Structures are given as C-alpha cells and as structure tokens.
C-alpha cells in the first residue's frame, strides 16, 4: 500500500504514481475507486496541509472505506498553503488570476510532463488527434500574467498541432483572420479558442465566419471587460457573429490538473480519472442525486502531487454519472480565471 511508506521515502513514489496514472488513463472510462482510496490514504498521511485539515475535522482516516466518506479539501487552501503530497522541488507552479489584494491559488507540480499528458489525453478523447487541428487562441488576459495553467495547456496544444497557422494572437484579430483564411485554403480544420470577452469582441466585428467543421471554444471569463452574460445569451451572440452552430466550452481551474470539455449546451464530460459529486450546500458530507443543484466536489486522480479531493466554490448538478453542468458560484467566492459566467 502507498500509505505504508515513510515521509522520507515519499518523493521516491513520484515515478510509481506516474506509472499508475498511465494505467488509469488506459482504463477505458472506468473510474478506479480502489486506487482512489489508496491515494486518499497516502495523501492523508503525507500531505501536511490535508492531514492537518483532516485532524481538525476529527476524522479517523483509517475508518474511511468509501469514496463518499472522504472529506474534500476546500480549494481556498491553495491560496495560502503549499498543498503538496510530499516535500518535492516543483518544476512548475501554476497560479490563479486575481485582482489586487486577493490571494492567488498556487499549484505545485513535480513534473510538467504529467500535466501535458493529461491535456493531450483529454483533448484527443473529445476532438481526436491534436495534429488534425489548427489552433487559434485569443487569451489576452491570461497572456498578460505569469503562471496560467490555461496558457501552458494551450501552448502545449499549439506546439503539438504542428501547424504554422496555429498560435496566440493577443489582440491582433487581423492576423488571426489571415491565419484562419490561410488554414482554410489548405483544407485544415480550425479550433478557435478564447476567453469570452475576446471572442465577443471578435464576433461583434463580423470579421470572420467559420465553416461547419470548425469549432469555437470559450474558456469563460469577462475579467471586468464586459457585462456578465448568461451562457445561453453569450453562446447565441457567438454563434451569430462567428457562424458556428454551437459553442464548445472548457472547464478547468488552477487547483485541478484535468479539464472537462462541453461540446454544446454547457454539459461537461468528466475524464475517466475524475469523479464529480454534488454536495448539499447545508451539509458538505451529504451528496445529492443527479439533477439536483449543489456544490461541486471533484476527485481528480491526476492531482497526485497535491490533493486529489477538492471542494470547489462552484454550483452545479450532474446530468449523468459522467456528465455535469456548472450553474454559477457561491456568493462571496472569489472570481476564478476560468468560467466566470453566471449561468
């Protein structure tokens, strides 16, 4: 069992974790609850922040035998603590966006290659081989700060795509249009990905009309640049202005390694190594059935370097066992970089 190793030996488990995660990724959509409980026992023992939190709750971790009994760590702990599964030197540190005076979450990774593997696996499970796509990215607010996991993800996908037309365009929509036309002249499919306010600006300029095989993907976020819109209104404007039949979405956050994609209607598909639970807003240890609204808890087994059991500040509901919707945020929760829409 992983939980039987000493703290001094914990760092030596990194390669083993990555090997196990490779097996999880090949699990054909079957969530591994046995490994989940094993990972919980390990992080409950060796993750100092999580261990302290569990002690404060007076939970006997040895008595936890079911996924539903695992306490989830509030993501606010990532703002003022180093949430690590063991004492390692981080190769990369992701940080959340934030306004002046607001603490920013930090996520420490021993190896960035794990994040890259997650990105590639999840993208290709929804959209096919990365090299099939020209990726045009409009993410100005993210490019203007350091430590964005979204920028790291998109940069990896752009490089993986291997197309000269792919790239970041900041505010240069004229160049973006040129690259789009260049890609279409060569018979290539295009993924136009951007933060909501930048896509709205592009849609209202009427400078580009996508073909049916192309995809528009919004990552959320008005960043104070535009009035907040409900999802239906935002997507209607984007569809009309960009000539797309439907708008795709990406759900992610600094505290998670994995992403979830929606191919329309705001329904997100969870990764095979993720589990979404909807907690009662009045009882964080009571979970609701599909179709009922509550707080979103996420198990992300890719979070092997930090904490795999996260209590988010998002409100949502499950549609099926592996699909969910994000309906908004708890009052007074900090604005997050990804998906700042009021649904």
Q: Average of pLDDT values for 131-160?
A: 93
Alpha carbon of 343 to those of 14, 220, 228, 234, 246: distances in Å? 39, 11, 10, 10, 16
| Whether residue 245 sits in one domain with residue 293 | no
pLDDT at position 20, please?
59
**If pLDDT is split at 50, 70 and 90, which confidence band does 342 have?**
very low
Q: Is 22 left (phi over 0), alpha (psi -120 to 50) or beta?
A: alpha
Domain of residue 166, residue span: 113-251
Is the domain of 9 the same as that of 87? yes
Whichever domain contains 233, its CATH number is 3.40.50
* Tens-digit pLDDT profile for residues 28-70: 667 888 888 988 998 999 999 999 999 999 999 999 999 999 9
Same domain assignment for residues 122 and 201: yes
Q: Is 328 a member of any domain? A: no
237 and 123, same domain (yes or no): yes
The number of distinct structural domains making up the chain is 2
Evaluate if residue 238 carries a pLDDT over 80: yes
90 lies in the same domain as 134: no
Residues 195 and 279 grouped into a single domain: no
**Where are the strands (E) in 1-101, listed by range?**
73-74, 92-95
Q: Percentage of residues in the chain with pLDDT exceeding 90?
A: 67
Q: Which residue has the higher pLDDT, 257 or 10?
A: 257
What are the tens digits of pLDDT across the range 246-256? 999 999 999 99
CA pair distance 304, 176, nearest whole angstrom:
37
124 and 100, same domain (yes or no)? no
pLDDT in tens, 281-326: 999 889 999 999 999 999 999 898 999 999 999 999 999 989 999 9
Residues 47 and 118 in one domain: no
Per-residue pLDDT of 71-102, as tens digits, reads: 999 999 999 999 999 888 899 999 998 654 57
Q: Which residues contact 209 (CB under 8 A, 6 or more apart)?
A: 242, 243
User: What does the pLDDT average to over 93-121?
Assistant: 85
Nearest to 299 by CA among 277, 330, 328: 277
CA distance 13 to 107: 19
User: Where would I find the H helices in 26-130?
Assistant: 33-46, 48-56, 77-80, 112-127
124 and 102 part of one domain: no
pLDDT surpasses 80 at 242: yes
Distance between CA atoms of residues 190 and 329, nearest Å: 32
CA neighbor of 294 nearest in space, from 343, 251, 250, 330: 330
Asked if residue 257 belongs to a domain, the reply is no
Residue 335: per-residue pLDDT: 42
**pLDDT, tens digit (0-9, with 9 covering 90-100), for 328-341:** 888 655 444 444 33
């Amino acid at each position: 069992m992983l939980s039987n190793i000493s703290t001094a030996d914990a760092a030596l488990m990194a390669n083993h974790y990555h090997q196990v995660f490779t097996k999880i990724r090949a699990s054909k959509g079957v969530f591994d609850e046995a490994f989940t409980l094993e990972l919980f026992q390990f992080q409950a023992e060796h993750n100092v922040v999580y261990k302290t939190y569990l002690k404060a709750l007076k939970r006997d971790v040895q008595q936890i035998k079911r996924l539903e009994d695992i306490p989830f760590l509030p993501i606010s702990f990532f703002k003022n603590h180093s949430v690590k599964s063991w004492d390692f030197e981080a190769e990369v540190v992701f940080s959340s966006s934030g306004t002046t005076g607001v603490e920013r979450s930090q996520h420490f990774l021993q190896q960035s290659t794990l994040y890259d593997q997650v990105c590639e696996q999840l993208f290709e499970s929804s959209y096919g081989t990365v090299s099939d796509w020209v990726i045009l990215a409009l993410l100005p607010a993210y490019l203007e700060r350091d430590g964005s996991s979204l920028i790291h993800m998109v940069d990896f996908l752009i490089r993986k795509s291997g197309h000269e037309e792919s790239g970041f365009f900041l505010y240069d929509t004229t160049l973006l249009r040129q690259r789009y036309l260049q890609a279409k002249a060569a018979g290539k499919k295009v993924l136009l990905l951007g933060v909501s306010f930048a896509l709205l600006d592009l849609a209202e300029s009427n400078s580009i009309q996508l073909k049916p095989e192309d995809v528009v993907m919004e990552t959320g976020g008005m960043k104070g640049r535009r009035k907040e819109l409900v999802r239906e209104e935002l997507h209607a404007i984007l569809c009309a202005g960009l000539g797309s039949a439907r708008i795709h979405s990406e759900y992610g956050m600094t505290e998670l390694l994995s992403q979830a994609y929606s191919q329309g209607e705001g329904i997100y598909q969870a990764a095979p190594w993720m589990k979404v639970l909807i907690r009662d807003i009045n009882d964080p240890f009571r979970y609701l059935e599909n179709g009922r609204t509550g707080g979103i808890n996420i198990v992300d087994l890719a979070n092997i370097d930090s904490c795999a059991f996260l209590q988010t500040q998002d409100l949502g509901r499950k549609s099926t066992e592996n699909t969910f919707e994000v309906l908004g945020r708890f009052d007074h929760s900090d604005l997050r970089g990804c998906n700042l829409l009021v649904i």
